């Protein structure tokens, strides 16, 4: 979210925050690598094929999965389709606006999509119906309901939880045509990617920045890891820099903290 | 004779004993629960579940008007967007606003403005965002019901709440509060919004074929049911501002 | 049309109009339930499959019908398609603007469409060619040429007159394919819906408001009735209210006045 | 030899005796009728029927310029939109402006501006709206012909009227005023607009293959025919401002 | 390009230019009917099926050809498709803007397209594969890289050179289906149209106006001729006029000068 | 064990002797040539050929900000557009900006801003246009490399150049500077941009699956290769400003 800043106030606020961080403290009392309380509710939109509402502190995101059949992309004729979209609703923040997706919303959707896609969370090969003609297409739409920092992680967790609990029709193939049965089966989920976002404020890097911290942050970096402890996606953001050492340390933190969050997501989506 | 050949009669939506597909009587509302003030950033908000509708309304303002040429010198500019989440309906909806959403945004705005004392906020904007997370029949009246609570929650001066209910015709019979199936298979839908204390109608749309008698019956039923929902609105505001359990109020609990 | 109002002038103007209405008079001398002169010309666009130009006082609208074959909507596989669109041309008023359809134009088109559709004026079942594959699609486009109040009724009459006089190719079905013949037949018109629009100015309700009345009106309501004297559509507009009694009275007036207008439309489209 | 293999020759558009499909001679105009001042709200307007073309042109202005950064400090800004109604052509046209309409709007504007004394209206906008209700060949020159009358009707100061005619080639022969069939089946279309009293060309577009001689012949024919249409323009203005019957003038009535 | 003009400076500048032209001289020393140095490079975009970069003075345009199969237009079922598009890149000039194509870019593309199309440069009949079903579609996209006047001619030469050097797959038809072979063949080019653009400044007409001349010009006219010395397209532009005699003289000049340019293009694209 | 099952292994992109499809070693860059200042109108420009990438970057500014409400009172507003020509890729690309181009425009802007002393140009706009004429793998880092030179060529005050390189994984092996085939068939792509003298990372994006060790190896390789490309940047600036042959520098000529 690009907020309209009051430069004088922002400068004072940031100076205070940097001072606080120098003594290892954050505005809300968390430790540097501590994320806010994560709550995950699933099945919140019964009409969707899968859904989840995630609260990360006061940030709230709802993801809904819709599944249909479609035509595969020409270059992947035997793979299903997975699309992640996000809208930062105007009701979510005084700075969000109605209209076509902003640059921020497009980046948000693409970074979340990348984490899901690159982890191979969903086995797209299992979504093939008739090669080159018909595949299963999964759309995950995310509604950001309340903005309080770190949309990347909250949105990612919502998408992962929605996909983990999504059910789709089983299809049978007759004469090169896919026919839907009444049987419902799980979406073929293989992995549980976990996104972790850091903010650099001054020379300190903190996990899961809240809105106040984002208003003062210089740089943002998201690192997504998968079950094997591998890194599968990353995105640096904001118009500033990060040192190589900070990148590597963030990767370590992401692998470590990611494990706990993954367990929590798996628990919430059993 | 006039009005006789009305009705579609294809799907049996109401049986001989007057029971509808979901077990309701002809004049019975679906379950409704309302919570006010859930959203953290918004100046005011209300969440309504009405049948399978799940709708969040939030209000920002009064705030500065951008672009400036839209400023109204003697009153607030009320903006309104009714929007359906892509996952809110059976087939995924394109997130870009449809012509239907543009029209509904307009009639919702025109239903809310009469209740807002816009003269108290000259040269400002008040924004009302209605997001349909899951849609059943009657989402626009449910949205209005929530939106007027969100305005009240934001502390905006109001003459009255606005509350709506949609009535209509299934199998040539007037019924209250159509759900999705009744809306699609039935032969008429009539969303009505009222300012209940002032006894005024601020939204009226009619679809379908009604004899003069059916028109009046459906219209008056919608007003009566709107008053019933208004009791839920007041209870939800009460919970919000004067404590008591935050549990959701069910329509069954309300005395008519 | 959202006109840029000069508030002082508007206020004085409205006060005068309310005073005049209190004595049962309108600015142009009409009685409260009297509509302006209605002129209907048909066949004005020979290249269209049907067309009409309607004058309602100085409000002028041209509707043109284009008929083609198309694919039915998935949920109505054996029904034809009827679409009504409207453009409030920039040449029609100093307040109209070029560009994508305004909120006003969208409401206009949708309210007119609703009256036509809900009255079951056109039997869409008779427009089916090959179920699920091919149907007749009827597009009615309306050009508002001059705005002098009450676009809803003028546009509705133009659409109804254009459809009543529209002719389409007869099709024969061969091997599951629709083939056009050279025979021209009437569009299957079953009803003649009539729209009637009221304005409330102060506490008086008048029929068929002119531009001056619209500039002073508090509320607008359109009620459409069909041949059987039934109400088939309605739309309240403008940011004000109406009493229940006024609604019921408007319904009665619409049924009564609608009969005379229906006779006039039928006469003009024989 | 140059120019010899020109022409498509597929459809017989003109017979041995020089008769065209609709019976016209090679240099004959289609019937034209013009009425000035029909529109009530516009500051000026003109309606032209030219063959099967039915075109309304209307003018608003001089008026304030919005947005302000488009203001021209020393003259009026002339805006122009050429637009085809969805029902104006054989296949329904999408109402959104096509690339063709955007280009034609530009060349019409550039054809009209030289005739308007824009220096008399600094810092204002003059809007010219050309709506094609039914389209035949030559709609842009018919639109210009009507638009310059609408400007005159609006009382805008002008150096001259602007009038157009399109000539072209069918079956390797130069002809005047192509209709739709001749435009599509023929091998060349050359719309020309002139300021007839000043003897200047303000629009020229060429499609198709012309030998040097054919080019000159078609071009000069278009100018001559434009002058003929100008007589109709003047008659229509005369009817508008100095009474007389409001009946439509036909091209046949005009002395060349 | 609609440049934001400083009126005082422009007026003085134009007066000087008119005076200079009165003595038969141009600002850059050229004679009235002399075009600037024309440089043509082909094959500049190897991934395209054909490409060319054209320098006309400091005006620079790159055209790239992409060839695919497509469905023919209903009214020309046995003809291939040729589309010319142009973008005036924001990097080409301080007055160009990012965004959807401006009126200027649309006119540019359409005028260049017209010259190519009307000359019958490409034999579209030879691009037919299966009548009514499958044809070869040729897209020529033009990037204006640097604006220094006369985009019309530079873009036209780039398109012509790109098409003259473009290669496409040879197709064989089996069972009503087009199958691509590995053989590459020339696009069926029959003609070499040459665009020549004139500017009138005061009462003088000059060939190939540069940016300074365009800033002072009253009127622009483009005349395109083909190999047979015939005129195949023309477009007058700018909000001023031309005399009939000037049009005919421009046609003569276009035929004469066009021959030399045609020879140069053919030489560069052998 | 973690990270072991990483990699796709379908296409043989690197052979037993460590040779890649185009003959490069695992840590070898494609040929790169850079020219600064080719564009006549732009305030600064640079053209880069990197493998099959052909990219022009140009800079305009500092200039006035339009619309005015975007003015930053204490520094310059840097605008950036990364755009692919329709003919730059195998299948013709629609010229309208895709979501991918919008995201890349954003990360390129955020990679460049830290190097620009934006405080030196308050209330102005600096525009950076990156046009991909032909695309191979790594076009965004090539674009950044050219764009920072274009900024320098425009005389904009900078803290450092910005230079990028993309590393990644093919057949479960870390390699430098993926080309198009390696990007599509490989299992990971990691574009990195650095400010080489300050030792800071200004762009990092990661696709694909990397063990912790592979992540570090690829990341550090990208930084090392970026420094190598920076030598080419400096050579190109040298040629531009201090003469010498304008011939293109090849990566082979550069000492590491």
Closest CA to E196 of E56, E96, E102: E56
pLDDT above 60 (res F250): no
CA angle (F109 as vertex; F107, F111 as ends), nearest 5: 70
Is F249 among the domain residues?
no
Distance from the Cα of F244 to chain A's closest Cα (Å) equals 34
pLDDT at E4: 46
Chains contacting C with at least 3 CB pairs below 8 Å? B, D
- The torsion defined by the Cα of D75, D79, D80 and D83, in degrees rounded to 10, comes to -170
Q: Which of the four pLDDT bands, split at 50, 70 and 90, describes residue A12?
A: confident
pLDDT above 90 (res D53): yes
Which residue in chain D has the smallest CA separation from E226?
D209
Closest CA to B234 of B194, B192, B196, B193: B196
**Cβ neighbours, 10 Å, residue A61:** 29
pLDDT at F253: 41
Q: Which of E110, E228, E242 sits opposite D201 (nearest CB)?
A: E242
Question: Is there a contact between E51 and E65 (Cβ–Cβ < 8 Å)?
Answer: yes
Is B253 among the domain residues?
no
Distance from the Cα of F198 to chain E's closest Cα (Å) equals 29
Alpha helices in chain C (DSSP H): 7-22, 103-118, 151-164, 211-216, 244-268
Q: Which of the four pLDDT bands, split at 50, 70 and 90, describes residue C6?
A: low
Query: Is A62–B92 a contact, with Cβ atoms under 8 angstroms apart?
Result: no
Provide the domain count of chain B. Answer: 1
pLDDT above 70 (res C181): yes
Q: Are strands E134-146 and E81-88 parallel, antiparallel or unpaired?
A: parallel
Distance (Å, rounded) from C-alpha D137 to C-alpha D177? 8
Distance (Å, rounded) from C-alpha C149 to C-alpha E139? 48
pLDDT at C9: 78
Q: Which of the four pLDDT bands, split at 50, 70 and 90, describes residue B6?
A: very low
Q: What is the mean pLDDT of chain A?
A: 95
DSSP state letter for C125: G
- Between chain C and chain D, how many beta carbons pairs sit less than 8 Å apart? 85
Q: Which of the four pLDDT bands, split at 50, 70 and 90, describes residue F243?
A: confident
At C54, list the tokens: 């309607």
Distance from the Cα of F104 to chain A's closest Cα (Å) equals 9
Q: Which of A47, A139, A148 sits opposite B88 (nearest CB)?
A: A47
CA angle (C38 as vertex; C37, C44 as ends), nearest 5: 140
Chain C residues touching D95 at Cβ < 8 A: 85, 87, 101, 141
Question: Is there a contact between E1 and E147 (Cβ–Cβ < 8 Å)?
Answer: yes
Which residue, among D96, D99, D104, would best test binding to E if mutated, counting the most E CBs under 10 Å from its CB?
Answer: D99
- Which of B151-160, C3-12, D44-53 has the lowest average pLDDT? C3-12
CA angle (D207 as vertex; D204, D211 as ends), nearest 5: 95
pLDDT at C3: 47
Here the CATH number for the domain that contains residue B58 is: 3.30.230.70
Chain C residues touching B210 at Cβ < 8 A: 230-232
Non-local CB neighbours of D202 within 8 Å, separated by 6+ positions: D110, D111, D112, D114, D115, D162, D193, D194, D195, E236, E240, E241
DSSP string for residues in D109-137:
HHHHGGGB-GGGSTTEEEEEEEEEEE--T
Query: Is F6–A228 a contact, with Cβ atoms under 8 angstroms apart?
Result: yes
In this complex, whether A and D touch, counting 3 or more CB pairs under 8 angstroms, is no
pLDDT above 70 (res D251): no
pLDDT above 60 (res B81): yes
pLDDT at A8: 77
Question: Burial, B47: exposed, middle or buried (Cβ in 10 Å; 0-12, 13-18, 19+)?
Answer: buried
Rounded average pLDDT over D38-47: 97
Give tens-digit pLDDT for C86-137: 999 999 999 999 999 999 999 999 999 999 999 999 999 999 999 999 999 9
Query: Is B110–C231 a contact, with Cβ atoms under 8 angstroms apart?
Result: no
Non-local CB neighbours of C241 within 8 Å, separated by 6+ positions: B114, B195, B198, B200, B201, B202, C219
Question: Is there a contact between A142 and A160 (Cβ–Cβ < 8 Å)?
Answer: no
Question: Burial, D253: exposed, middle or buried (Cβ in 10 Å; 0-12, 13-18, 19+)?
Answer: exposed
pLDDT at A5: 56
The strand ranges marked E within C103-230 are: 128-130, 134-146, 167-174, 177-186, 194-201, 204-207, 219-225
Question: Is there a contact between E63 and E87 (Cβ–Cβ < 8 Å)?
Answer: no
Distance from the Cα of A192 to chain F's closest Cα (Å) equals 13
Chain C residues touching D133 at Cβ < 8 A: 44-45, 62, 143
Q: Which of the four pLDDT bands, split at 50, 70 and 90, describes residue D7?
A: very low
Is F255 among the domain residues?
no
Q: Which of the four pLDDT bands, split at 50, 70 and 90, describes residue B245?
A: low
Chain D residues touching E196 at Cβ < 8 A: none
Chain A residues touching B81 at Cβ < 8 A: 90, 98
Q: What is the mean pLDDT of chain D?
A: 92
**Cα dist from C156 to D98, D136, E89, whole Å:** 28, 28, 46
Question: Is there a contact between C69 and C134 (Cβ–Cβ < 8 Å)?
Answer: yes
Q: Which of the four pLDDT bands, split at 50, 70 and 90, describes residue D197?
A: very high
Chain B residues touching A36 at Cβ < 8 A: none
Buried b / exposed e over C169-202, threshold 16 CB at 10 Å, is bebeeeeeebeeeeeeeebbeebbbbbbbbbbbe
Distance from the Cα of D188 to chain E's closest Cα (Å) equals 8
At B88, list the tokens: 């809110």
pLDDT at D255: 39
pLDDT at F255: 40
The residue behind tokens 């593309």 is E109
Is F49 among the domain residues?
yes
Query: Is A239–F110 a contact, with Cβ atoms under 8 angstroms apart?
Result: yes
Chain B residues touching C228 at Cβ < 8 A: 2-6, 209
CA angle (B72 as vertex; B67, B77 as ends), nearest 5: 75
Residue with the larger pLDDT of the pair A70 and C11: A70
The residue behind tokens 């009345």 is C213
Query: Is E240–D114 a contact, with Cβ atoms under 8 angstroms apart?
Result: yes
Closest CA to E164 of E140, E188, E141, E194: E188
Q: Which of E65, E92, E143 sits opposite F41 (nearest CB)?
A: E92
Rounded average pLDDT over C74-79: 93
Query: Is F96–E100 a contact, with Cβ atoms under 8 angstroms apart?
Result: yes
Distance (Å, rounded) from C-alpha C207 to C-alpha C196? 7
Q: Which of B107, B190, B201 sits opposite C244 (nearest CB)?
A: B201
Say whether residue C8 is in contact with chain B using an 8 A CB cutoff: no
Question: Is there a contact between F190 and F206 (Cβ–Cβ < 8 Å)?
Answer: yes
Question: Is there a contact between F16 and E62 (Cβ–Cβ < 8 Å)?
Answer: no
Give tens-digit pLDDT for C211-268: 999 999 999 999 999 999 999 999 999 999 999 999 999 999 999 999 999 999 999 9
pLDDT more than 90, % of chain A:
93
The three state secondary structure string of A18-66 is HHHHHCCCCCCCCCCCCCCCEEEEECCCCCCCEEEEEEECCEEEEEEEE
| Residues 76-105 (C) with a CB less than 8 A from some CB of B | 103
Domain boundaries, chain A: 7-268
Length of chain E: 270
Distance (Å, rounded) from C-alpha C228 to C-alpha C226? 6
pLDDT at A10: 81
Closest CA to D64 of D4, D144, D1, D121: D121
pLDDT at F11: 72
pLDDT above 90 (res A115): yes
Closest CA to A106 of B60, F91, F97: F97
- Which residue range(s) make up the domain with D23? 2-242
Is B167 among the domain residues?
yes
pLDDT at D92: 97
Non-local CB neighbours of A9 within 8 Å, separated by 6+ positions: none
Give tens-digit pLDDT for F202-211: 999 999 999 9
Closest CA to D143 of D53, D39, D60, D223: D53
pLDDT at D6: 36
Query: Is B206–C232 a contact, with Cβ atoms under 8 angstroms apart?
Result: yes
| Residues 109-148 (B) with a CB less than 8 A from some CB of A | 127, 129, 131, 133-135
Rounded average pLDDT over C61-67: 98
pLDDT above 70 (res B90): yes
Say whether residue A39 is in contact with chain B using an 8 A CB cutoff: no
Is D248 among the domain residues?
no
Query: Is A232–F208 a contact, with Cβ atoms under 8 angstroms apart?
Result: yes
Give tens-digit pLDDT for D167-188: 999 999 999 999 999 999 998 9
Q: Which of D52, D57, D60 sits opposite C94 (nearest CB)?
A: D60
Rounded average pLDDT over C205-213: 97
Distance from the Cα of A30 to chain B's closest Cα (Å) equals 20
Question: Is there a contact between B133 and B54 (Cβ–Cβ < 8 Å)?
Answer: yes
Q: Tell me how far apart the 2 most distant CA atoms of chain B are, in Å.
A: 60
The three state secondary structure string of chain E is CCCCCCHHHHHHHHHHHHHHHHCCCCCCCCCCCCCCCEEEEECCCCCCCEEEEEEECCEEEEEEEEEEEECCCCCCCCCCEEEEEEEECHHHCCCCCCCCCCHHHHHHHHHHHHHHHHCCCECHHHHEEECCCEEEEEEEEEEEEECCCCHHHHHHHHHHHHHHCCEEEEEEEECCEEEEEEEEEECCECCCCEEEEEEEECCEEEECCCHHHHHHCCEEEEEEECCCCCEEEEEEECCCCECHHHHHHHHHHHHHHHHHHHHHHHHHCC
Strand order in the sheet with C204-207: B173-176, B163-170, B188-195, B200-210, C231-237, C219-225, C194-201, C204-207
pLDDT above 60 (res D2): no
Distance (Å, rounded) from C-alpha C223 to C-alpha C234? 4
Q: Which of D74, D100, D206 sits opposite E7 (nearest CB)?
A: D74
Q: For the domain made up of A7-268, give the CATH fold.
A: Ribosomal Protein S5; domain 2 (3.30.230)
Rounded average pLDDT over D1-9: 38
Give tens-digit pLDDT for B193-215: 999 999 999 999 999 999 999 99
| Residues 59-118 (B) with a CB less than 8 A from some CB of A | 60, 63, 81, 83, 85-92, 95-96
Q: Which of C44, C68, C91 sits opposite D58 (nearest CB)?
A: C91
pLDDT more than 70, % of chain F:
91
In this complex, whether D and C touch, counting 3 or more CB pairs under 8 angstroms, is yes
Q: Which of C47, C139, C143 sits opposite D90 (nearest CB)?
A: C47
Chain D residues touching E76 at Cβ < 8 A: none
Which residue in chain A has the smallest CA separation from B83?
A89
pLDDT at E67: 98
Q: What tens-digit pLDDT sequence spans chain E (270 residues)?
A: 444 456 777 888 899 999 999 999 999 999 999 999 999 999 999 999 999 999 999 999 999 999 999 999 998 999 999 999 999 999 999 999 999 999 999 999 999 999 999 999 999 999 999 999 999 999 999 999 999 999 999 999 999 999 999 999 999 999 989 999 999 999 999 999 999 999 999 999 999 999 999 999 999 999 999 999 999 999 999 999 999 999 999 999 999 999 999 999 999 999
Chains contacting D with at least 3 CB pairs below 8 Å? C, E
Closest CA to B163 of B178, B151, B175: B151
Is B12 among the domain residues?
yes
Give the containing element (helix H, strand E) for C59: strand C59-70
Q: Are strands F32-36 and E81-88 parallel, antiparallel or unpaired?
A: unpaired
């Amino acid at each position: 979210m690009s907020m309209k800043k009051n430069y004088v106030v922002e400068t004072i606020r940031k100076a205070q925050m940097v001072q606080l961080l120098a003594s290892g403290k954050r505005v809300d009392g968390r430790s540097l690598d501590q994320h806010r309380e994560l709550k995950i509710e699933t099945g919140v939109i019964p009409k969707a094929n899968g859904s989840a509402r995630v609260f990360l502190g006061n940030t709230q995101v709802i993801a809904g999965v819709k599944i249909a059949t479609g035509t595969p992309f020409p270059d992947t004729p035997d793979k299903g389709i997975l699309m992640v979209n996000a809208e930062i609703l105007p009701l979510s923040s005084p700075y969000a606006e109605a209209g076509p997706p902003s640059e921020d919303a497009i980046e948000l959707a693409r970074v979340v999509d990348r984490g899901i896609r690159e982890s191979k969370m969903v086995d797209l090969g299992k979504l093939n119906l008739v090669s080159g003609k018909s595949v299963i297409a999964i759309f995950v739409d995310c509604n950001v309901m309340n903005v309080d920092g770190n949309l990347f992680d909250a949105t990612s967790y919502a998408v992962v939880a929605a996909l983990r609990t999504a059910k789709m029709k089983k299809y049978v193939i007759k004469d090169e045509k896919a026919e839907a049965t009444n049987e419902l089966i799980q979406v073929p989920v293989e992995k549980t990617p976990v996104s972790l976002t850091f903010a650099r404020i001054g020379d300190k890097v903190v996990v899961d920045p809240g809105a106040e911290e984002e208003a003062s942050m210089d740089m943002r970096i998201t690192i997504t890891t998968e079950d094997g402890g591998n890194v599968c996606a990353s995105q640096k953001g904001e118009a500033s820099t990060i040192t190589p050492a900070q990148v590597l340390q963030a990767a370590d933190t992401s692998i470590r903290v990611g494990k706990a969050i993954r367990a929590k997501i798996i628990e919430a989506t059993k | 004779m006039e009005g006789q050949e009305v009705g579609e009669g294809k799907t049996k939506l109401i049986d001989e004993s007057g029971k509808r597909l979901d077990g309701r009587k002809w004049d019975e509302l679906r379950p409704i629960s309302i919570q006010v003030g859930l959203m953290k950033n918004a100046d005011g908000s209300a969440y309504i579940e009405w049948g399978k509708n799940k709708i969040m309304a939030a209000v920002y303002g009064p705030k500065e008007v951008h672009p400036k040429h839209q400023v109204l010198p003697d009153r607030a500019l009320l903006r309104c967007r009714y929007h359906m989440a892509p996952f809110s309906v059976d087939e995924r909806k394109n997130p870009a606003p449809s012509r239907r959403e543009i029209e509904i945004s307009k009639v919702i705005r025109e239903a809310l403005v009469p209740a807002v004392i816009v003269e108290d906020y000259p040269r400002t904007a008040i924004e009302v965002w209605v997001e349909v997370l899951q849609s059943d029949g009657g989402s626009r009246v449910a949205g209005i019901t929530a939106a007027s609570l969100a305005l009240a929650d934001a502390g905006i001066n109001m003459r009255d709440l606005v509350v709506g209910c949609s009535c209509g015709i299934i199998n040539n019979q007037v019924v209250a509060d159509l759900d999705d199936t009744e809306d699609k298979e039935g032969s008429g839908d009539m969303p009505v919004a009222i300012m209940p204390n002032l006894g005024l109608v601020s939204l009226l749309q009619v679809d379908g074929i009604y004899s003069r008698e059916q028109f009046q019956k459906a219209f008056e039923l919608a007003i009566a049911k709107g008053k019933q929902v208004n009791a839920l609105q007041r209870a939800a505001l009460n919970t919000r501002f004067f404590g008591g359990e935050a549990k959701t109020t069910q329509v069954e609990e309300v005395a008519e």
